[in-house]
């Protein structure tokens, strides 16, 4: 086993456990067993290889002993030659088996974790939006990366160490008893002490390693934050203060880690001391018995040779303990995610949603993220097929939630959401989303080419179709700006697409998907008027001929909608066209008045 610290595999890992409650069951390593099931025969082969390695290594001292006693001692050359040949043979068998076993163990570990990682990823993709809004991206990603790596460490290296050393230990016990039960018992006399010392170490190190992991997480958090905020740190000349904060974290980590070192500095030499005690007992009793004539020298030499094989595994297994700890902590977190069921799931046997015209009906809908605090309360709304509805209201009024209920990112606690009379809960999510597109505020682009991003909602789109969609939203300006056209790489930062351009791409993406129902969360960041005009035109094209729900921020958008729905605290307080609402003199009219006076001022 290679030497690794309590954080041998380091990547930023937030040790927050407030989201997933501690779950003793989730820590159990046997929750990993189902992932091994598809690989039963490979697991069997790996175990057979491990047995072979152990047998080959254990056979060597026995063969050497036989060669010394009966070959060299009895001066029988042919016995010696045979023994050495077998000795070399055992070595070769052990080496070949070890080579295969390294590969097999890695194969098995990598496969099992590959499956787990993919299952976890699919699960994360399926988890409803609420989960992702609650849990920061970094933490979710660390489930997929550092936690899986911690398990990998256990499954490949750890299990190998465990099995090989466990087998060796058992093998040695058997061999020692076969050689001489009385000597074996002498040697095991230190065993009770060994158990006590190991139990002490386990308890102590468990606490110390946990603390070390926490402190490491803290060091990383401080480092990450300072690096991200370097502009501010330097801008205010606070390097010394930042260094002091970092230093504190660094010192705490060092102290916490030192505690683990104190523990192991007592434990590991202690085991060696106990081993020496066992050896002493064997030497004392063995020598006397050889002198009394009821033990051969060869047996005693072999016995002493095996003794190190008896104590080594115990040390190795104790060293494994911190790996096991990290792995169980990781497993608990992974199981925590896997256990979080997606709240929106297809009912068994749910049919797909047939092609719809796009009439939406919300009837008596109540929804709450947190029990007792409804975000949408007993809300009913009918939207005609092809109608454009603008949702307006203050932050927290429930605009986004309403849109998300229509897209079935959530299911309401009470009431129903139906499209063309089909209750959304009675149809499959996939079939719903195929007829619906949602354009979020920030046009999120995935790493890849412009084409990859455009055909995101419609993988079979041709180049011509993509170009037409781009043309429709921005008249080809964007293409002119990108040297490689559709094949241009558009990573989130690198490409230098502006916020406005990203938005246009996400419009084109939605246009290409050609949904019956469109939900658009308008960006709040202001762009210059030129881009804004483009966006307005693009939006008009995008909305044409489909049911559209706009979470609207701009007056122009709002004014052009067929209907404005003003939300407040989860209820509809006003609805109607712009002119109707202005005439009504309610909340909308008041907000509009505020705006009007300000515009009047600046344009004067």
Partner 1 sequence: MTDLWRLLAFLRPYRGLVIVTGLAASGIMVCTLILPYLTGRIIDDVLRHGERGELAPLLWAVFAVAVVRFGLGLVRRQISGHISLGVEYDMRDTVFSRVQRLSLAFFDHMPVGQLMSRATSDLQTVRFFLGYGLVFMFTTVFTLLMAAAWLITIDWQLAIFSLAVGPAVLAVATRFGQVANPLRIDLQQRLGEVSQAGEESVAGIRVIKAFGRERERSAAFERVANGAMNRGLDVARVEGVYEPVMGFLPTAGLAVILMLGGHQVMNGTLTLGQFVQFYLYLTLLMGPFRSLGFLVAGGQRALAGGRRIFEILDAETEVPEPAHPVPLPDGDGRVTFDHVHFAYGTGDAADPFGREVLQGVDLDIPGGRVVALIGATGSGKSTLTELIARYYDPTGGRVLLDGVDIRDLALDDLRRAVGMVSQEPFLFSTTVRENIAYGRPDATLDQVRAAARLAAADEFVEALPNGYDTVIGERGLTLSGGQRQRLAIARAVITDPRVLILDEATASVDASTERQIQDALRAVMAGRTTVIIAHRLSTIQLADEIVVLDRGVIAARGTHDELYGTSPLYREIHRTGLARPELVLGDS
Subset of 417-446 contacting partner 1 (CB under 8 A): 429-430, 432-434, 436-440, 444, 446
Footprint (CB under 8 A) of partner 1, residues 482-501: 492, 498-499
Q: How many angstroms from the chain centroid is the CA of residue 396?
A: 30
Distance of CA 74 to the CA centre of its chain: 64
The count of residues interacting with partner 1 (CB under 8 A) is 166
- The phi-psi region of residue 364 (left if phi > 0; otherwise alpha if psi is between -120 and 50; otherwise beta) is left
Nearer to partner 1, 269 or 351 (CB): 269
Closest separation between CB of residue 153 and partner 1, Å? 12
585 binds partner 1 (CB under 8 A): no
Name the token pair of 349.
Answer: 């046997």
Find the angle CA(167)-CA(170)-CA(171) to the nearest 5 degrees. Answer: 80
Subset of 525-544 contacting partner 1 (CB under 8 A)? 525-530, 533
Q: Write the binding mask 195 to 234 for partner 1: x where contact by CB under 8 A, - elsewhere.
A: ------------------------xx--xxxxxxxxxxxx
Tell me if residue 418 falls in helix, strand or coil: strand
For partner 1, the binding residue among 77, 347, 413, 580 (CB under 8 A) is 77
Q: Which stretch binds partner 1 (CB under 8 A): 117-125, 175-183, 314-322, 372-380?
A: 117-125
Task: Give the footprint of partner 1 on residues 379-418 (CB under 8 A).
Answer: 392-395, 399, 407, 409
Closest by CA position to 156, among listed 121, 113, 99: 113
Among 59, 98, 167, 383, binds partner 1 (CB under 8 A): 98
- Distance of closest approach, residue 364 Cβ to partner 1, in angstroms: 25
Residue 591 Cα distances to 177, 391, 563, angstroms: 91, 14, 17
CA distance 574 to 67: 99
Strands 360-370 and 571-576: unpaired
Residues 362 and 142: their CA atoms lie apart, in Å, by: 38
Segment contacting partner 1 by CB under 8 A, of 159-167, 243-251, 362-370, 468-476 = 243-251
Nearest to 517 by CA among 548, 562, 552, 545: 548
Q: Which of residues 47-76 bind partner 1 (CB under 8 A)?
A: 60-61, 64, 67-68, 71-73, 75
Position among 189, 239, 413, 580 found at the interface with partner 1 (CB under 8 A): 239
How far the first Cα of the chain sits from its last, in Å, is 77
Q: Candidates 161-169, 363-371, 478-486, 517-525: pick the segment binding partner 1 (CB under 8 A).
A: 517-525
**Encoded tokens for 316:** 């190795």
Query: Is residue 140 within the footprint of partner 1 (CB under 8 A)?
Result: yes
Contact with partner 1 (CB under 8 A) among 192, 235, 372, 421:
235
Strand partners, 439: 520
Closest CA to 2 of 143, 189, 142, 160: 160
Judged by CB, which is closer to partner 1: 77, or 189? 77
Subset of 4-33 contacting partner 1 (CB under 8 A): 4-5, 7-12
């Amino acid at each position: 086993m290679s030497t690794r610290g309590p954080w041998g595999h380091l990547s930023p890992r937030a040790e927050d456990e407030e989201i997933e409650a501690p779950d003793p069951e989730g820590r159990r390593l046997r929750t990993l067993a189902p992932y091994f099931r598809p690989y039963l025969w490979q697991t069997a082969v790996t175990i057979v290889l491990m047995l072979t390695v152990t047998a080959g290594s254990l056979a060597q001292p026995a063969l050497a002993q036989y060669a010394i006693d009966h070959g060299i001692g009895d001066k029988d050359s042919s016995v010696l030659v045979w023994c050495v040949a077998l000795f070399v043979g055992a070595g070769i068998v052990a080496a070949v088996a070890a080579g295969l076993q390294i590969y097999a163990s890695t194969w098995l570990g990598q496969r099992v974790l590959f499956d787990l990682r993919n299952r976890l990823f699919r699960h994360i993709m399926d988890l409803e939006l609420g989960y992702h809004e609650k849990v920061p991206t970094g933490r979710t990603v660390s489930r997929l990366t550092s936690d899986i790596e911690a398990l990998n460490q256990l499954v490949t290296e750890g299990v190998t160490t465990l099995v090989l050393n466990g087998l060796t230990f058992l093998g040695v016990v058997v061999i020692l008893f076969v050689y001489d039960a009385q000597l074996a018992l002498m040697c095991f006399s230190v065993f009770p002490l060994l158990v006590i010392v190991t139990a002490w170490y386990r308890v102590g190190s468990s606490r110390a390693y946990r603390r070390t992991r926490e402190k490491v997480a803290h060091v990383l958090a401080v480092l990450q934050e300072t690096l991200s905020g370097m502009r501010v740190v330097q801008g205010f000349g606070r390097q010394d203060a930042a260094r002091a904060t970092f230093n504190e974290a660094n010192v705490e980590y060092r102290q916490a880690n030192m505690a683990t070192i104190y523990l192991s500095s007592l434990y590991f030499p202690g085991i060696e001391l106990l081993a020496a005690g066992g050896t002493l007992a064997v030497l004392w009793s063995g020598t006397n018995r050889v002198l009394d004539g009821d033990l051969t020298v060869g047996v005693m030499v072999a016995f002493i040779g095996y003794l190190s094989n008896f104590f080594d595994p115990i040390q190795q297994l104790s060293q494994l303990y911190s790996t096991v700890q990290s792995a169980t902590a990781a497993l608990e977190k992974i199981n925590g995610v896997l256990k979080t069921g997606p709240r929106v799931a297809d009912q068994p046997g749910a049919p797909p949603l047939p092609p719809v015209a796009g009439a939406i009906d919300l009837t008596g809908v109540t929804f709450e993220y947190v029990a007792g605090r409804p975000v949408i309360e007993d809300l009913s709304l009918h939207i005609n097929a092809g109608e454009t509805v603008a949702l307006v209201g203050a932050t927290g009024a429930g605009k986004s939630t309403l849109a998300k209920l229509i897209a079935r990112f959530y299911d309401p606690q009470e009431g129903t959401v139906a499209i063309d009379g089909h209750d959304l809960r009675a149809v499959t999510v996939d079939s719903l989303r195929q007829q619906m597109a949602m354009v979020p505020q920030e046009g999120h682009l995935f790493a890849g080419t412009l084409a990859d991003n455009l055909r995101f909602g419609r993988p079979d789109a041709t180049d011509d179709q993509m170009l037409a969609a781009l043309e429709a939203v921005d008249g080809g300006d964007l293409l002119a700006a990108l040297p490689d056209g559709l094949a241009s790489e558009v990573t989130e930062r690198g490409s230098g697409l502006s916020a406005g351009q990203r938005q246009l791409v996400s419009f084109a993406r939605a246009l290409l998907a050609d949904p019956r129902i469109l939900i658009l969360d308008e960006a709040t960041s202001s762009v210059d008027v030129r881009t804004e005009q483009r966006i307005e035109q693009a939006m008009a094209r995008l909305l044409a001929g489909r049911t559209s729900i706009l979470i609207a921020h701009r007056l122009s958008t709002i004014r052009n909608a067929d209907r404005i729905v003003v939300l407040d605290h989860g209820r509809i307080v006003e609805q109607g066209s712009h002119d109707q609402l202005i005439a009504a003199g309610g909340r909308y009219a008041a907000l509009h008045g505020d705006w009007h006076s300000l515009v009047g001022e600046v344009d004067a």
